[in-house]
Structure 1
Amino acid sequence: MQRKNVILGIESSCDESAAAIYDSERGLLAHALHSQVALHADYGGVVPELASRDHIRKTLPLVERVIAEAGTPELTGIAYTRGPGLVGALLVGASIAAGLGMSRNLPVLGVHHMEGHLLSPMLEDDAPDFPFVALLVSGGHTLLVKVDGVGRYRLLGQSLDDAVGEAFDKCAKMLGLGYPGGPALAALAAEGRRDAHAFPRPMLKRPGLDFSFSGLKTAVMLAVKAAPDTRAAAADIAASFEQAVVDTLVAKCARALKASDARRLVVAGGVGANRCLRAALADRAARDGFSIHFPRAEFCTDNAAMIALVGSLRASEMKRGIAPAEAAARWPLDTLEPPVARSVA
């Protein structure tokens, strides 16, 4: 029988500082997040050095806040995001976790950021059972993964160029929208005609489950150059682009479910909060008879709740002593293994 654990989670992989506390019996006790959007807005993207410095200022106060909000629980371990992400930003969270672990005599574990996203729907009351197919769509990743259990992941498909979130941001920049571009483009798309431009649905006519958005971006660039400089024209381009992305993602998800003989789909990552995508996937689920699971919108973007959850699920791997502050800019998801059953030492 698994022992009760209460895990402090720390997230600092990119431009959001976050902390959370997860109780294996009571669920999520508290979580807090600080976004750096305003800090990076003038630069049109994340500046790694500024991100790292802001994590230094904000992370420890967030940790103190969630401990207080959770009622000062007796922690049994600390989980932090080890990677992938910006190395400098990751090292801030890793160093804080290592220091807290040493000062409080708590075991520490560095966890995989993408595993957090994959398992984030387990924070909800209607958590999916294994196995399921997961669509992970964010600013840095577009993946289809077969999930047979914790640490049992099989990559089905991935983007061969930009992630879908990057495509949103770059197309938003072409349209002169602000940072972050994805939400701004989605808001503008709500005003436009979704069939105004016959943009390509990349790689749908080819077998397989990989993605490519470079050709779609080129089509958007050409449309922007040819269009009049009006809000209506920009809205039509945004809506047509968004629809092309959504059609592509929905078709690939349906293909992945069929190929893996799965009946459950999980959608996670920042782009998973897109309303058009959610509505289209819900329609396809009703048509094809599969169930669909989304984390709440606040857990689609980077957060510490999912890190604390993974820490709880992998509590047997935590180690006491002087924990190394480890960070990995790249960390292939398929290198993960199921939790090792051993006592904390």
Structure 2
Amino acid sequence: MNDVKILAIETSCDETAAAVVVNGREVLSNIISSQIDIHTKFGGVVPEVASRKHIEAISLVVQEALDKAGCTLEEIDAVGVTYGPGLVGALLVGMQYAKSLAYAIGKPLIGVNHIEGHISANFIEHKELEPPFVCLVVSGGHSFIVYMKDFGEFEIIGQTRDDAAGEAYDKVARAIGLGYPGGPKIDKLSKEGNANAIKFPRANFHDESLDFSFSGLKSAVLNYLNKMEMTGQEINRADVAASFQKALVDVLVDNAMKTCEMKKVDKIAIAGGVASNSTLRETMISEGNKKGIKVLFPSPILCTDNAAMIGSAAYFEYLKGRKADLSLNAIPNLKLGER
């Protein structure tokens, strides 16, 4: 089979990204235009601002991806684009651009689930990786444990019932005065603190579900801060950060390891923005070594929202003949595995 080059576009949140990916594994270019400095002053992503910035950046980002890859539109075999989940306005910018481009050059259009993209980042980083394996997806908007049976075939084992892991990080970071984005800032500050200083709760469900719940943990941190302020006691922010992070990571790791045992697999991949977290990586590797489970994770650049991961996922959709037509629409609450 000849090489398949995918031009991929990702605009689900506040990164305008484009990439050229060959055969789902080799990245020729991966261009990301981040809006993080713009949204930091607002304490989070402002959807309308994000959409406008995508419109300004997308043509330049796509052209830069093609230039860096050293290829022309005529050499592209298909155009892949994120169509959900995400911010509807942001998604529409990337989708309309991708649909117009695919139509103009007469190449197939492939709609990609953003979460599947995060999982597929591991195929770029670990070129030998093939299903079956377990994947822990943890980002600002999503927290899943997934059993990947085959390329593009998923079984959801656990998911958050309220706040996603990254969302909890952002809210706690704001409460202790660290600002946005919360994940990297809490991870950095926690290295100066005692992770066992404060006993925060770990949510477990009586029905033996492997779902997550982080709203109780978030509330416990806020209640602790309020209590300390009301009684005039000094708050050690590093201890709060480290103790919160340990409580959250313990649940993620415990549930992921239980899934590996349940499905009798010895490989677990981590994906999503929180996959860059040093405590999560260290704890997961340590537990994996005890249980004989190999732990894989992408480079930090592939953990954040990027188009290379979308290009990888699009390739495996392409092989299965799953192509979209021009009626493809943005689905902001798209579920994993939905078509």
Q: Give the TM-score band, short-chain normalised.
A: over 0.9
1:34 maps to amino acid: S
Q: Residue 122 of structure 1 corresponds to which residue in structure 2? A: 123
Q: Distance in 1 between matches of 2:56 and 2:328?
A: 18
Offset at residue 164 of structure 1 (A): 0.6
**Given the superposition, is the C-alpha separation of residues 111 and 270 from structure 1 closer, same or farther in structure 2, using an over 3 Å criterion?**
same
Task: Verify the 8 A CA contact 1:204 1:248 in the aligned structure 2.
Answer: no
Show the counterpart of 1:90. Answer: 91
- Distance of 1:231 and 1:323 partners within structure 2: 59
Q: How many residues align?
A: 334
Aligned to 1:165: 166
Distance of 1:113 and 1:247 partners within structure 2: 26
Aligned to 2:314: 311
**Which structure 1 residue ranges, 5 or more long, are not aligned?**
337-345
User: After superposition, what is the alpha-carbon deviation per residue over 1:225-257, rounded to whole angstroms, capped at 9, x for unaligned?
Assistant: 233689970111000000111111111111111
- Number of the residue aligned with 2:30: 31
Larger mean Cα displacement after TM superposition, 202-211 or 96-105: 202-211
Residue pair 2:81, 2:310 contacting (<8 A) in 1 also: yes
Go from structure 1 to structure 2 and tell me whether the alpha carbon gap of 1:251 and 1:112 turns closer, same or farther (over 3 Å shift). Answer: same
Q: Is 1:233 aligned to 2:265, yes or no?
A: no
- 1: CA distance, partners of 2:234 / 2:30: 39
Does the Cα contact within 8 Å between 1:135 and 1:145 map onto a contact in 2? yes
Alpha-carbon RMSD across the aligned residues, in angstroms, is 1.9
Q: CA deviation at 1:323?
A: 2.5
Of 290, 294, 302, 1:291 maps to 294
The answer for the alignment partner of 1:340 in structure 2 is: none
How much does 1:126 deviate?
Answer: 4.7
Partner of 1:148: 149
Equivalent in the alignment of 2:196: 195
Residues of 1 paired with 2:253 and 2:25: CA distance? Answer: 35
* Unaligned segments of structure 2, at least 5 residues: none
Looking at structure 2, the residues matched to 287 and 72 of structure 1 have their Cα atoms a distance apart, in angstroms, of: 46
- How far apart, CA to CA, are the structure 2 residues paired with 1:230 and 1:23? 57
What residue in structure 2 maps to residue 19 of structure 1?
A: 18
Establish whether residue 252 from structure 1 lines up as the match of residue 251 from structure 2: no
- Partner residue in 2 for 1:323: 326
Are the structure 2 counterparts of residues 100 and 177 from structure 1 closer, same or farther at C-alpha, using a change threshold of 3 Å?
A: same
Whole-angstrom distance in 2 between the partners of 1:281 and 1:252 = 11
Q: Supply the distance in 1 between the matched residues of 2:225 and 2:4 (Cα, whole angstroms).
A: 53
Question: Could you list the per-position Cα deviations for residues 261-286 of structure 1 after superposition, in whole angstroms to 9, with x for gaps in the alignment?
Answer: 11110100001110010000000111
Question: Which string of whole-angstrom CA distances, capped at 9 and with x for unpartnered residues, describes residues 154-202 of structure 1?
Answer: 1101111100111111111110111111111111111111111011122
Paired position in structure 1 for 2:39: 40
SS in 2 for 1:333: coil
CA distance in 2, matches of 1:325, 1:248: 37
Q: 2-side partners of 1:319 and 1:250: how far apart?
A: 36
Which amino acid in 1 is paired with 2:84? G
Instruction: Decide whether the 8 Å contact of 2:228 with 2:235 is kept in 1.
Output: no
Taking structure 2 as the reference length, what is the TM-score of the superposition?
0.94
**Quick one: distance in 2 between partners of 1:231 and 1:298?**
37
Does the aligned pair in 2 maintain the 1:199–1:240 contact within 8 Å?
Answer: yes
- Report if aligned partners of 1:110, 1:326 keep a CA contact under 8 Å in 2: no
Once residues 77 and 231 of structure 1 are traced to their aligned partners in structure 2, the CA distance between those partners, rounded to angstroms, is 58
Aligned counterparts of 1:146 and 1:181: Cα–Cα separation in 2: 28
Helix, strand or coil at the partner of 1:81: strand
> Of the candidates 305, 319, 323, which is equivalent to residue 302 of structure 1?
305
**What residue in structure 1 maps to residue 138 of structure 2?**
137
Bigger shift: 128-137 or 97-106?
Answer: 97-106
- Return the letter of the residue paired with 2:203: P
- Give, in whole Å, the separation in 2 of the partners of 1:140 and 1:170: 12
Shift in Å, 1:203:
0.9
1:127: how far off? Answer: 3.9
Deviations 1:65-122 (A, max 9, x none): 0101111241111000011111110010011111111222221111111111112100
The residue that corresponds to 1:104 in the other structure is 105
2:225 matched to which residue of 1? 224
TM-score (norm: length of structure 1): 0.92
Sequence identity percentage: 40
Deviates most, 122-131 or 3-12: 122-131
Q: Secondary structure of 2:12's match?
A: coil
Aligned partner letter, 2:138: V
Q: Which amino acid is 2:46 matched to?
A: V
1:199-230 CA deviation, whole Å, 9 max, x = no partner? 11221776220111111111101221233689
